Amino acid sequence: MNEQMETLLENIKKDYFEWTTRCARRKLDTDGELTEINKQMIADFNDNVDYKLGNKYIKVITGGSVWGFIVNTENDKKFRKGDILKAAGWAAPARNAARGNIVDGGYTIQWTGPLYL
């Protein structure tokens, strides 16, 4: 599960980088070359992407906000281990539906959080 979590964090960072590059290209009407400010923003974002293990869930945090939750137990009646859930708040996930599974792969996410249904 550690490897899948690291892959998820890298995918979040990659999406932020791609979003920043697209914005820079549109705003500056350039070939997408990043300014020093853009580079610093990316570095700051990457430094603040982390996760905290809990008994039932892994909380994914980006810059002091909850990005989402990953199911961290085999004993959930509705979800499988590795399912990606949106955050309902700081301490709890939205348990309406999974947005993918980090073990199975093939999920679609954004740097802002798991995608809506």
Is 13 buried (19+), middle (13-18) or exposed (0-12) by CB count in 10 A? middle
State residue 117's pLDDT score: 67
Q: How far apart are CA 20 and CA 80, in angstroms?
A: 33
Distance from CA of residue 92 to its chain's centroid?
16
Instruction: Output the pLDDT for position 112.
Output: 95
Question: Residue ranges of the domains in the chain?
Answer: 2-114
The whole-number pLDDT of residue 8 equals 97
Give the per-residue pLDDT at 25. 62
Q: Express each pLDDT in 28-67 by its tens digit.
A: 555 557 788 889 999 999 999 999 999 999 999 999 999 9
